[in-house]
Structure 1
Amino acid sequence: MKTFFHHFSWSLIVSLIALAIALLYGGWAAVALCVILGLMEISLSFDNAVVNARVLEKMSEFWQKIFLTIGILIAVVGMRLVMPLVLVSATTGLSFGEVITLALEKGDPATVGTYGHYLHDAHPQIAAFGGMFLLMLFLDFIFEDRDITWLSWLEKPLAKVGKLDSLSYVVALAALLAGAAIAEDPSLVLIAGVLGLITYILVNGLGSLFEGGDAAEDDAGTQDAAEESSGVSDSKRGGASSLAVLTGRAAFFSFLYLEVLDASFSFDGVIGAFAITADPIIILLGLGLIGAMFVRSLTIFLVRQGTLNDYIYLDHGAHWAIGALAGILLLSIGFEIPEIVTGLIGVFLICAAFFSSVLANRRESTATLAKVPELVDSP
């Protein structure tokens, strides 16, 4: 319990402040809506937190703090408030001021000409961009040959097929063409999807490019420090000799990667929130201040506790959930899919991976204990 409060104290404080603002703004009904939106954001973004943690654990403590400070500001204000306004302005031709006025009018999304209606109309482009980014993330994970597999009957054959050069791009582009085929305006969907693909290639590629160079510099610096203070233990040097962390340009592009990933998740949540309320203030308080803060704290918790190493299949479950979300986003270009379906699929896959990890740990412990008598009896 102490560990929980240590990692989630700021999230709890911010959530209480957000609920107090909601109470003053719209009474207990607003408080209830904020709680619902916060829970929805957490359930939809749990897989996001797992993937974030895997990237974040390779970054230096400085960049982890940047993720928690500047990153949360971008997530709350940028992705969940400003970006939807920009999208509506770009797709309708209205000025930014006019869009803000529309948003504050809290019109019914089912009514033509309201902010929620315009945002819903922009859903195909948003779904194509986010769907392609998330699909590439999933495909690059699942097509890679790994020592540890969760759904081995499926993951091992996919890893073998994945040895074909550029297969992930072929599959992603085929999925985009299928999504465009069910869209009312295929050209807009194709443009948005290609932009999502380009964004993934640039951010992921630049991060990998600089990771090698910066990691080499870190290793050299660590070696120099070791030679200058050979009497100092590795533990007192913070374990730097055994684990190189990302700094500089590599960490910066990894940070950008995390923010684009968060955007891909948050857009769909913002649109889904309009099914609950058309009030952008309530959406900001619920999705942003409550939901996004808890997702950030959950990410740090997973990193600090080493949860991804303790539960070896969580990584796989999160990526399968992301693959499911990518497919749902592309399908939603032409079909209405309830948010609860997206949330339940993600939660189910994460929970299944967690319990599979627990069972695997128990089997390993049992096997280790079975070997103890043999070791004791051996000469």
Structure 2
Amino acid sequence: MASTAIHYFRWAFLVTMAGLAAAFWLGWGYSDNLGGAISFFLIGAVLAVLEISLSFDNAIVNANKLKDMDPVWQRRFLTWGILIAVFGMRIIFPLLIVVVAAGIGPVEAVKLAALHPDEYARIIGSAHISIAAFGGTFLMMVALNYFIDEGKEVDWIRTLECQLRRCASVRGLEIALVLAVVLVFASVMAADDRARFLFAAIGGLLTYLAVEVLGHVLDARQRTVGVAAQGGLGAFLYLEVLDASFSFDGVIGAFALTHNLFLIAIGLGIGAMYVRSMTIMLVERQTLAHFRYLEHGAFYSILVLSVIMFAQTLWHIPELVTGVLGSAFIGIALVSSILHNRRQTAS
């Protein structure tokens, strides 16, 4: 059983070895001594662990969406999607932030990242409020849309989830709840930051709604031509935006360990490969069907992450706290699922 599970991570292991070797070489190039090379090696390893710890829920939600997707789009997401996740979100996205915030060209942004990493990190930090507002809004919509659903049949924390399911007939309830949270945080925020926060939060909400509308339109078109609606381009885009929202926290948090863009890309890229491997394993082994509350734990973790992202616009919250809380919900949900299975077997 263990050897079968390891089979899914063979590419992740290869990328880990290549990535840590690249981190060692990069450190040697910057410092020209063994100490600097070892430092880069260790930071790369820590970044990979950080990304993995923050992404358990990402893998579970990916698997939940992928199990209903057309096999062709499954393969596209697991190939092209992972390339977008690694290169788009871990390299291009931080560069675009600097391009927009500093008003410079892409080539100048790369030079800034390579030659002046402290200034590069400062510009990234200045955009943190907008990033957190966008990601927090999108992720909160994802979580609430899962719980406020009349078709949801399994409850984990029944008192809360039953009430939310009963409220599903109130149209737009999840949007109202998210906007209420946004207004609460905006009301206690400094006036200079409020406009950026609200603009980014509304952008996150509109992005979620646009992806949902696109998915429904494409599914309706599939039904029109007589094909079962299994989620194609709409589901693909949904997963890409979802992955981007998850990545915000890891990318920003990585700058607490190093200001080197290339080392950050290596460490987080390694972590992204493990997320891909976990996703494939969950889909092919139908793990979500065997552990009925695991999915619930992931969405509670997403809800907590969204609140933390909003809170980070006001206070500094260590990434360790985010990783521990997310892993705790998933771990408790896993234990609850195992206990449920044992009770079912005994009865």
Deviation at 1:216, TM superposition (A): 6.5
Deviation at 1:261, TM superposition (A): 0.5
Contact 2:101 2:127 in 1 (8 A): yes
Matches within 5 A, 1:174-323: 174-181=180-187, 182-183=189-190, 184-214=192-222, 217=225, 246=230, 250-288=231-269, 290-323=270-303
Deviation at 1:209, TM superposition (A): 2.9
Q: Match for residue 152 of structure 1? A: 158
Q: Match for residue 236 of structure 1? A: none
Q: After superposition, give the CA deviation of every residue in 1:219-253 in whole Å (9 maximum; x if it has no partner).
A: 5xxxxxxxxxxxxxxxxxxxxxxxx572xxx4111
Q: Match for residue 226 of structure 1? A: none
SS of the residue aligned with 1:69? Answer: helix
5+ residue gaps, structure 1, are 109-113, 220-243, 368-379
5+ residue gaps, structure 2, are 28-36
Q: Match for residue 355 of structure 1? A: 335
Matches within 5 A, 1:333-348: 333-348=313-328
- Where does structure 1 differ by over 4 angstroms across 4 or more consecutive aligned residues? 215-219
Deviation at 1:211, TM superposition (A): 2.2
Q: After superposition, give the CA deviation of every residue in 1:327-352 in whole Å (9 maximum; x if it has no partner).
A: 11111111111111111110000001
Instruction: Determine whether 1:136 maps to 2:127.
Output: no
Amino acid in structure 1 at the alignment position of 2:181: A
CA distance in 1, matches of 2:106, 2:220: 41
Contact 1:84 1:267 in 2 (8 A): no
Q: After superposition, give the CA deviation of every residue in 1:280-309 in whole Å (9 maximum; x if it has no partner).
A: 111011001x10011011111100000001
TM-score if structure 1 supplies the norm length? 0.85
The CA RMSD measured in Å over matched residues stands at 1.5
* Number of positions where the alignment pairs a residue of Structure 1 with one of Structure 2: 334
CA distance in 1, matches of 2:9, 2:232: 24
CA distance in 1, matches of 2:26, 2:171: 55
Q: Match for residue 230 of structure 1? A: none
CA distance in 1, matches of 2:11, 2:303: 31
Quote the sequence identity (%).
Answer: 43
CA distance in 2, matches of 1:352, 1:205: 34
TM-score if structure 2 supplies the norm length? 0.92
Contact 2:222 2:229 in 1 (8 A): no
Contact 1:106 1:280 in 2 (8 A): no
Q: Match for residue 129 of structure 2? A: 124
Deviation at 1:215, TM superposition (A): 5.2
